Amino acid sequence: MNIENLEAFVYVIHYGSFNKAADMLFLSQPSVTARIQSLERELDCKLFDRCGRQVQLTDKGKQFLPYAQQILQTYQKGKMQLQKQKALPNELRIGCTISVSNYVIPNLLPRMKLLYPDIIFKLSVGITDDIVNKTLNKELDIGFVRNISHPNLQSAKLYTDPITLYVYEGHPFISNEQVSIEDIMQEALVFFECGALDWMQLHRVFENLDYPPNIEFMTDNLETAKKLVLNKAGICFLPSRCVSEEVAEQKLFPIYFREVSNISLQTNLVTLHGENTVIYNTMLKIGKEILSGGHSTDLEKKVHV
């Protein structure tokens, strides 16, 4: 029985979508569909009932699911045991930007520690250029950086973070469906400057205006920018991930501003080609799972292809 086919089957159920399963497996959606079809042929039964673009587990599929999960778990345990026997570093040196340090690392490293309990994870925070240079010079093993490419580095996208305008509780913008650039020009701005190339798109929104925006505060520290807005010192364009808790608690409010609706920051995971391959791939996969918010779904729930 093909492990990859079983994995595709379990992932579709776990993530509730053929497309999401394909993303997590780094495959195309047709490839996932082909694996499911191959498994159905091997088992000589239908695992899903198809109705247009929707599918639902059959009774046979529900019966088979726990066995598929058990086979995969046993396989992963055996694979992990063999990997542990390979030469692994005693210490893994990780470099990351401050936003990754605050909003990604606290969830990611405990998962990594479960898989690699004998490794000490040493974390340092810096800017992208420094992290890249230290990785190239073998001062760091793995780096979380802005969207970059380098011939000596393996680089893969971990996540993208949309840039949105945020205002504090009670601000008059909250009642507006959207705001114009003229509206923003009347407001005190807290300007977070992260230095990424993607961020230059935000600069270009304002650079051709007759008058400069009313920037009252400039900072390269994301937490400082956020707290200035919370203290009603101004409004600010921020990466969405850093304010998710404040938005949920209705302390900060996202405002639609068309000119930045397509701007986002991309974070990549990098390492030297041929170095730390097992740990790098594991960290990338777990990171994507955490950041996607993947969750188990009810077996009775319909999932979209």
Render pLDDT for 171-191 as a digit per residue (tens, 0 to 9): 999 998 889 988 999 999 998
On average, the pLDDT of the chain sits at 86
Query: Phi-psi category of 170—alpha, beta or left, where left has phi over 0 and alpha has psi -120 to 50?
Result: left
Average pLDDT rounded to a whole number, residues 120-144: 95
Spatial strand order in the sheet of 54-57: 48-51, 54-57, 303-304
Tokens of 95: 């470099």
Domains of the chain: 3-86 (1.10.10.10), 91-157+266-292 (3.40.190.10), 160-264 (3.40.190.10)
* pTM metric for this prediction: 0.63
d(CA 152, CA 50): 46
User: Between β-strands 153-168 and 235-239, what pairing exists: parallel, antiparallel or unpaired?
Assistant: antiparallel
Per-residue pLDDT tens over the stretch 213-270:
888 999 888 899 999 999 999 999 999 988 999 999 999 999 999 888 888 889 999 9
Averaged pLDDT for residues 18-45: 89
- 64-91 confidence digits (pLDDT tens): 999 999 998 898 888 777 765 555 778 9
Amino acid letter, 176: N
